[in-house]
A and B are shown apart, each in its own frame.
Chain A
């Protein structure tokens, strides 16, 4: 009979007595309530509240009285701008995963070694991430300005007619995504740099002796080593993409003709600024469910089996 089996057969009262005497239950009783109270107060309650509001037609003043059932959700589902917003959010996810992350990885591979020059580059590449989102949006709105911005100068240099990219229905969102990549690649780069610095040097040297060239070392030694970091950074990329908001407001404010909304700017524009709190809450509920689903599936698929 194994010890584990013996343990399992203990009566409940005995188990309770033991955990009481070894202080675990006491510790849980003392330490858990503050966290639980804070969590319910600031996370669960607002969530529950907005789930509740989502069933009302409510402008935010007074108490919600006009119960409308699932009508808010039906309106969202039929709203073409919401479809565009979801499509845009998915585009950001795709660009983050397939453009931003490879770019960040490439730069990390180039500058992960600890040298003074690399430290300077690291700082430069990390600066956009430190910058406030709104400030980044404003800066780029000047860059993209067709009258005074850099795009105007470039167009002028080539003798072409200046263009207003942020006002262009086709290209405005591409410009927005450029800014998003610019803003956040440094974050992913830093994750990779930290991971790359922990790859044992002698494994790289062993690979050199075995005849591996630079790219083969990247592929067979370094990337397998930093795979957990890549998995985590992809998770941040997806969750972050679902929440993009602050960069867009100063850049396009969702325009032109509502072509550059994300789910969150959609919520803000059609829920908050138009005083449709019930409607906005419904969008929030949808976003929350999407994020939770991603998080759960992601953990199931990528973040398990670490013990092997």
Chain B
């Protein structure tokens, strides 16, 4: 039982309030991803859970126990840092079993745990090296290894893959997903990366300026964003957010339509437009068009469609896939 609960958490640095009031439950065994723009307080929240930072008020519960005043090492958590935070003067093996040595675990058990972690993370051949002699991906694995061997109830990750190149990131993403399945532990993961969030999470928490905008499964956020912010944040390319007048509904502040939910015809559609930029990505073609009286509209088309910049288009949004947002920025239920 290692559910994480945050109750009425606030956090201020001096006069600046970073987290005004936050409640969140991370279910036992879930892979919860925190996303949000830079500076919105994701790392701060993670550090509050880890105990590296004290909340200004509110409670942190792990596995039902109030750990708000507990030392980080007593919380049954482990953390993987963006910079890996490996000790350069220790070998890989020493880095991995550092915490176990501090806890005076018998050597035999220590070795068994290190061996197990090394096997899971394919680090067997590197145990005697120093971190300086490893590649970025290998260092990241050592950092993960260090957090595995302590058998924590909750894993915390702060942008662990952001220093890796795209190919390695994809590979590590798959490995993390496998790790989550095999360890069956609760994981809380901070990222900037849409794809990481969508593929890894079974629960995404979208944050904005210290507040939670929406919590839900990836497809739930994608299909039914509850706020205009979430609509614009989840999905790539971004959802088109247009004035209500685009669909002739003045009481709607913003109407959202994903780029893949717009049909393109030669003429006769709703919005006459001119293609400005055409990106051929292979599987998809993304067209950035300028629509008359509406503004910039992004359209995603199948890869076999050939269009040129400057071409005249006619765009038609799929009615069923419109997202309407009122003046409070919240989702309006469509009454058809």
Binding site for B on A (CB under 8 A): 200, 202-203, 205-212, 216, 220-221, 224-225, 227, 308
Sample of 10 A–B contacts (CB below 8 Å): A200-B83, A202-B85, A203-B85, A206-B146, A208-B52, A209-B78, A209-B99, A210-B99, A212-B98, A212-B102
Q: With A200-B85, A205-B85 as given contacts, are A210 and B52 in contact (CB-CB < 8 Å)? A: no
Q: Name the distance in Å between B312's Cβ and chain A's nearest Cβ.
A: 54
Q: With A202-B81, A220-B98 as given contacts, are A210 and B73 in contact (CB-CB < 8 Å)? A: yes
Interface flags for B305-330 (1: CB within 8 Å of A; 0: not) read 00000000000000000000000000
Contact residues in B for A225 (Cβ distance below 8 Å): 88-89
Q: Is the interface of B mostly helix, strand, loop or mixed?
A: loop
| Interface status of B222 (Cβ within 8 A of chain A) | no
Contact residues in A for B78 (Cβ distance below 8 Å): 209
Q: Name the distance in Å between B192's Cβ and chain A's nearest Cβ.
A: 18
Q: Is the interface of A mostly helix, strand, loop or mixed?
A: helix
* A211 in contact with B73 (CB, 8 Å): yes
Of A206, A212, A220, most B-chain CB atoms within 10 Å: A206
A211–B99 Cα distance when bound, in Å, is 6
| Interface status of B126 (Cβ within 8 A of chain A) | no
* A206 in contact with B102 (CB, 8 Å): no
Contact residues in A for B51 (Cβ distance below 8 Å): 209
Q: With A208-B72, A211-B73, A224-B89 as given contacts, are A216 and B102 in contact (CB-CB < 8 Å)? A: yes
Return the chain B residue nearest A210 by Cβ. B99
Within 8 A of A (CB), among B81-111: 81, 83, 85-89, 98-99, 102-103
A40–B150 Cα distance when bound, in Å, is 62
* B98 in contact with A210 (CB, 8 Å): yes
* B52 in contact with A209 (CB, 8 Å): yes
Given contacts A208-B72, A210-B73, 17 further A-B contacts (CB under 8 A): A200-B85, A202-B81, A203-B85, A203-B87, A205-B52, A205-B72, A208-B73, A209-B50, A209-B51, A209-B72, A210-B99, A210-B146, A212-B98, A220-B87, A224-B87, A224-B89, A308-B130
A224–B88 Cα distance when bound, in Å, is 9
